[in-house]
Amino acid sequence: MSGVATGPSMGRVNSPAASTAVPATPSQARYEPPRFSARGPISSALLEALGRGIREAGESLGGLEHSTREAIAASPDVIRDDDLQLSLLILHGLHYGGVVDSDDDWEWHPALVAARVAIERAFEAELRRQVPVPELPNPSSEDVAAALFELTKPTPGPSLSRYVARKASEEQLREYLVLRSIYTLKEADAQTWAVPRLQGRAKAALMEIQTDEYGAGDPERMHSAIFARAMRGLGLDDRYGTYIDCVPAVTIASFTMMTMFGFNRSLRGATAGHFSAYEMTSSIPNRYLAQGVRRLGFGDDIAWYFDEHVEADSVHEQIAGRDLSGGLAEAEPSLLADIMWGANCSLIVDGWGSAEALACWEAGRSALRMPLPSGAER
Q: State the binding string over 88-127 for other proteins (x if CB under 8 A, else -).
A: ----------------------------------------
204 binds other proteins (CB under 8 A): no
Minimum CB–partner distance for residue 78 and other proteins (Å): 33
Shortest approach of other proteins to residue 320 CB, angstroms? Answer: 12
Please identify, using beta-carbon distances, which residue of 171 and 311 lies nearer to other proteins.
311
Q: What CA–CA distance (Å, rounded) separates 224 from 348?
A: 24
**Of 155 and 334, which CB lies nearer to other proteins in the complex structure?**
155
Per-residue x/- track, 324-363, other proteins (CB under 8 A): ----------------------------------------
DSSP state of 13: B
Residue in 4, 13, 125, 216 binding other proteins, rule: CB under 8 A: 216
Is 213 a binding residue for other proteins by CB under 8 A? The answer is no
193 sits in the region (left: phi over 0; alpha: psi -120 to 50; else beta) called alpha
Q: Are 310 and 226 in contact (CB under 8 A)?
A: no
Number of residues binding to other proteins, judged by CB under 8 A:
27
> What are the backbone angles phi and psi of residue 13, rounded to the nearest 5°?
-65, 130
57 vs 319 by CB, closer to other proteins: 319
> 140 with 94: CB under 8 angstroms?
no
The DSSP line for 212-274 is: HHTGGG-GGG-HHHHHHHHHHHTT---STTTTGGGS-HHHHHHHHHHHHHHH-GGGHHHHHHH
- Here's the x/- map for other proteins, 160-199, by CB under 8 A: it reads as ----------------------------------------
Question: Quick one: three-class SS letters along 285-333?
Answer: HHHHHHHHHHHCCCCHHHHHHHHHHHHHHHHHHHHHHHHHHHHHHHHCH
Q: Does 18 bind other proteins (CB under 8 A)?
A: no
Report in angstroms the alpha-carbon separations of 32 from 8, 19, 152, 302. 27, 30, 42, 30
Number of residues that make up the chain = 378
> Distance between CA 299 and CA 218 in Å, rounded?
22
Which amino acid belongs to residue 112?
L
Name, in order, each residue with C-beta under 8 angstroms of 352's C-beta and a sequence gap of 6 or more: 250
Dist CA 303 CA 317 (whole Å): 21
With contacts defined by CB under 8 A, name the span among 228-236, 266-274, 280-288, 369-377 that binds other proteins.
280-288
In the list 310, 331, 337, 360, the residue contacting other proteins (rule: CB under 8 A) is 310
Residues between 285 and 304 that touch other proteins (CB under 8 A): 287
Residue closer to other proteins by CB (options 77, 311) is 311
Other residues' Cβ atoms within 10 Å of the Cβ of residue 269:
24
* Binder of other proteins out of 29, 208, 296, 298 (CB under 8 A): 208
Q: Residue 130 or 318: which CB sits closer to other proteins? A: 318
In this chain, which of 131, 312, 335, 357 binds other proteins, going by CB under 8 A? 312
Beta carbon nearer to other proteins, 209 or 372 = 209
Choose the stretch contacting other proteins; rule: CB under 8 A; options: 116-124, 149-157, 171-179, 353-361: 149-157
Q: Pick from 126, 187, 189, 212 the residue near other proteins by CB under 8 A.
A: 212
Number of other residues whose CB lies within 10 A of the CB of residue 297: 8
Q: Does 59 bind other proteins (CB under 8 A)?
A: no
Q: Which of 90, 316, 299, 101 is nearest to 223 (CA)?
A: 316
- Which range binds other proteins by CB under 8 A, 242-250, 253-261, 279-287, 336-344? 279-287
Instruction: List interacting residues with other proteins (CB under 8 A).
Output: 142, 145-146, 149, 153-154, 208, 211-212, 215-216, 218, 221, 283-284, 287, 308, 310-315, 317-319, 322
